[in-house]
């Protein structure tokens, strides 16, 4: 998938790094809107991993997540010229990816858990890595059992690091409604993972 997006970003590669001194998202999107493929490549490199990780946790499928991420960035390329900085680009990409995920879930309700991305394990030992994989599998399985909006809310806030206001904007709900989703989702996860992870997601 990254190779496909990289191919799209080729062809106007005469720009040199020194010419993109202002590499803020807003500037790069504006330049992308003029057909600047180097600016687009930088946006892909900056945001692709987070969009894939988000979609993987919403869908429960790595392959589906890569499709969603590719389509999200293709839409960015297509609509960059008309993009208005009313929200951070990361928030916009999460909203586009979420809508694509919901379309995907509407077409296929039974999605495999085998390809869900696991949290990166920094531990050096084989035992630690095995334990982390097992815990990750339990958490991912429990996450997939949550209602879609609760799963998305927890993914946005706890895995993607979005602030509550940003996550609420992605979901197009109020902050109060988001906090309600988070509270219900946390309670459900704690109940399902109490023996394995008693301190999961902090205290209420």
Whether 94 and 156 have beta carbons less than 8 Å apart is answered as: yes
Tens digits of residue pLDDT in 145-186: 999 999 999 999 988 989 999 999 999 999 999 999 999 999
Domain encompassing residue 202: 118-204
For residues 4 and 61, membership in a common domain is answered with yes
For residues 156 and 88, membership in a common domain is answered with no
Q: The pTM is what?
A: 0.70
Q: In this predicted structure, what is the pLDDT of residue 105?
A: 84
Instruction: Choose the final residue of a domain: 97, 116, 135.
Output: 116
Compute CA distances 201 → 158, 167, 194, 196, whole Å: 8, 17, 11, 13
For residues 13 and 75, membership in a common domain is answered with yes
For residues 91 and 125, membership in a common domain is answered with no
Tens digits of residue pLDDT in 76-113: 999 999 888 778 899 999 999 999 999 988 765 443 43
For residues 92 and 193, membership in a common domain is answered with no
């Amino acid at each position: 998938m990254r190779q496909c997006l990289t191919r799209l970003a080729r062809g106007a590669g005469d720009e040199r790094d020194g010419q993109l001194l202002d590499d803020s998202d807003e500037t790069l999107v504006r330049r992308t809107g003029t057909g600047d493929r180097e600016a687009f490549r930088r946006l892909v490199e900056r945001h692709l991993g987070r969009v894939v990780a988000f979609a993987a946790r919403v869908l429960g499928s790595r392959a589906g997540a890569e499709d969603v991420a590719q389509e999200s960035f293709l839409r960015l390329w297509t609509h960059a010229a008309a993009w208005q900085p009313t929200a951070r680009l990361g928030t916009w990409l999460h909203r586009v990816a979420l809508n694509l995920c919901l379309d995907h879930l509407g077409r296929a309700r039974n999605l495999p858990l085998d390809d869900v991305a696991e949290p990166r394990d920094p531990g050096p030992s084989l035992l630690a890595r095995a334990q982390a994989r097992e815990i990750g599998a339990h958490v991912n399985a429990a996450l997939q059992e949550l209602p879609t909006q609760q799963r998305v809310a927890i993914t946005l806030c706890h895995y993607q690091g979005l602030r509550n206001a940003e996550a609420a904007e992605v979901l197009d709900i109020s902050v109060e409604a988001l906090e309600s989703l988070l509270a219900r989702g946390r309670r459900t996860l704690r109940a399902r993972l109490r023996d394995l992870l008693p301190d999961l997601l902090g205290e209420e």
